[in-house]
Amino acid sequence: MTRVLVVDDEPQILRALATNLRARDYDVDVAATGEEALIVAADKHPDVVILDIGLPGIDGIEVVQGLRGWTSVPIIILSVRESEVDKVAALDAGADDYVTKPFGMNELLARLRAAIRRAAPAGEEPVIVTDAFQIDLASKTVTRDAAVVHLTPTEWGLVDLLVRHQGKLVGQRQLLQEVWGPSYEKETNYLRVYMAGLRRKLEPDPAKPRHFITEPGMGYRFVI
Report the amino acid identity of residue 61: I
pLDDT for res 7? 97
Cα dihedral 200, 130, 222, 119 in deg (nearest 10): -70
Q: Which residues contact 166 (CB under 8 A, 6 or more apart)?
A: 128, 222, 223, 224
Q: Are 202 and 130 in contact (CB under 8 A)?
A: no
Please check whether residues 187 and 155 belong to one and the same domain.
Answer: yes
Of 81, 96, 119, which residue sits at a domain end?
119
Please check whether residues 45 and 110 belong to one and the same domain.
Answer: yes
Q: In angstroms, rounded to a whole number, what is the distance separating the alpha carbons of residues 8 and 56?
A: 10
Instruction: Please report, for the domain that includes residue 72, its CATH number.
Output: 3.40.50.2300
Task: Compute how many other C-beta atoms are within 10 angstroms of the C-beta atom of residue 167.
Answer: 8
What's the total number of domains in the chain? 2
Of 67, 97, 119, which residue sits at a domain end?
119
User: Mean pLDDT of successive 10-residue segments in the chain (224 residues)?
Assistant: 93 94 95 95 94 92 92 92 87 90 88 83 72 88 91 90 91 89 84 93 94 94 93
Q: 0.75 cut: is pTM over it?
A: no
Please check whether residues 110 and 201 belong to one and the same domain.
Answer: no
Q: Are 165 and 150 in contact (CB under 8 A)?
A: no
Report the run of H or E that residue 200 belongs to, with start and end: helix 188-202
Please check whether residues 41 and 98 belong to one and the same domain.
Answer: yes
* HEC profile of 136-195: ECCCCEEEECCEEECCCHHHHHHHHHHHHCCCCEEEHHHHHHHHCCHHHCCCHHHHHHHH
pLDDT for res 125? 63
Please check whether residues 102 and 163 belong to one and the same domain.
Answer: no
Q: In angstroms, rounded to a whole number, what is the distance separating the alpha carbons of residues 131 and 16?
A: 50
Please check whether residues 12 and 107 belong to one and the same domain.
Answer: yes
Alpha carbon separation from 191 to 21, 116, 153, 159, 176 (Å, rounded): 30, 20, 14, 12, 8
**Domain containing 84: what range?**
3-119
Of 76, 96, 119, which residue sits at a domain end?
119
Q: In angstroms, rounded to a whole number, what is the distance separating the alpha carbons of residues 16 and 63?
A: 22
Please check whether residues 143 and 204 belong to one and the same domain.
Answer: yes
Q: In angstroms, rounded to a whole number, what is the distance separating the alpha carbons of residues 32 and 92?
A: 23
Please check whether residues 171 and 115 belong to one and the same domain.
Answer: no
pLDDT for res 123? 53
